[in-house]
Amino acid sequence: MTTGYIEDAGADAAFVLARHAVALTYSDLPDGVADMTSKTILDTTGVILPASTTSPEAKALADLVLDLGGKQEATLLGFGSKAPAWLAGYVNGAMANCQDFSDLHPDAAHISSPVIPAAIALAERQGDIAGREFITSVVLGVDLQCRLTVAAGKPGGRMAPWHPAPLFGVFGAALACSKLLRLDENQTVNALGIAFTQAAGTHEIVFGKNSTIRGFGHAVPGEVGVRAALMAQAGISGVRRSFEGVHGLWNVYYQGEYDRDLLLGDLGVRYDVLEDGFKPWPSCAFTHVFIDMVRALMREHRFEPQEVESATVTVGDFARGQTEPLAEWRRPPNSMLAKLSVPFTVATALQRGDVTIADYFDEKLTDLDVLAMADRIESRYDEQYDFVAGSGFPGGEIAIRLRDGRTLTRQQPRAYGHPLAPMTWDGLIAKFKDCAGYAARPIPGQALDRAVTGFRELESIDDVGELFALLG
């Protein structure tokens, strides 16, 4: 039932997006979109689970939420407890990037982790949400997250001060949840307008040092998305011109500079999720090409860590900020900074042969062998590896000098996990199972196998809430 009148849909992007969302069905999705979205759902759900044991802050947050009590509507993934849906969305959203392990679109960064925690929580609350309906809702939310981020661009070729995950995530999460609640156009516009009132967040959460809140950057959309949709369903009206009003998103946050065609062009035809990538390693994407090159050289030349005399990484401007000053980045003080550090991560790859979740535990930050290796990491800058808007994450070079006099070199334009070097279903399932092994509440093998099967066959599931409950 419509709760009010609909203005001219051309008045604001919110109306165009709402109309598209209401009309979209699963059968409308182009080839590959449902499959890729199912992968993002598997991957995002998986990377939430480890935070239940590896992040003390996530445990403290979960304890705070459980202490509040309330109706047990949705699962705190990994913990085995339930909470009101929007609080579950907040906790799961907070955990989604604690490992720096969530999906990574080359031009829009994390497009699923701001959206999927809210969708999971609301689907559990509602019950009887079929897999096809859930996929369609997530498609809408993830697509909007990506469209907003790409439309904003990088002013002057530089990274904008606003962090797209919390800023745009509230809209993507609200749109996905509106679809799950089957809201009409007017209600959906209201949900987007309600979400707008809490759209915020800058990159200081990423680059501000000595803070462990960095991993919580995706928390707010998990809560706001659920709450905004429920408020709209209850008849509460929101800002009507949330995107293009005089004081709307674009004019206030971006001084009116955005690409409207990238935001609204080819709705229902162009789905940038098809260009999404996934992280094989739980660290900043700018470290991945160096991990990949170390692993390739170790496979090819079969040398041991003790044979390494030194190594030089060649970086662009962005990774340079995660490399210099070397003395500082060789000794990251906490796990979040360790995941950003090129020298520490390269040292870990050289010492361990791989980089895993456990390699960023607190005790590993003082591992004498890894730190000794980090002291042997040097760096050089080359502008050809600078970050260029619209080109995805840049490549790099590495030169490893061995004690026997050999110098092993490698250059790569991208890392494994990039959409041009994609992870397969098998690779994503292996990652998911590894993540599940860190859950605070152990997940029985049979339940884990059922969950994996459910994600692979998500379009045929009758109630996705039962699937997520397996991972409590």
- Tell me the average confidence (pLDDT) per consecutive run of 10 residues in the chain, 472 residues long: 43 95 98 98 98 94 96 96 98 94 91 97 97 98 96 65 93 98 98 97 77 80 98 97 96 94 96 96 96 98 97 96 96 91 98 97 96 98 86 89 98 94 96 98 96 97 95 87
Give the pLDDT score at 10. Answer: 58
Q: How many CA atoms lie within 13 A of 43 on its CB side?
A: 32
CB 218 within 8 A of CB 166: yes
Comparing C-alpha atoms, which of 269, 275, 262, 200 is closest to residue 13?
A: 262
Q: What is the pLDDT of residue 305?
A: 98
Q: If DSSP codes are grouped into helix, strand and coil, which group holds residue 386?
A: coil
pLDDT at 158: 54
Two structure tokens written together for 199: 């759209």
Domain residue spans of the chain? 13-280+447-470, 285-412
Quick one: CATH architecture of 285-412?
2-Layer Sandwich (3.30)
The CATH number that domain 13-280+447-470 falls under is 1.10.4100.10
Contacts of 108 (CB under 8 A, 6+ apart): 145, 146, 149, 150, 164, 272
Instruction: Tell me how far apart the alpha carbons of residues 139 and 123 are, in angstroms, rounded to a whole number.
Output: 14
For residue 77, the tally of other CB atoms under 10 A from its CB is 30
pLDDT at 1: 29
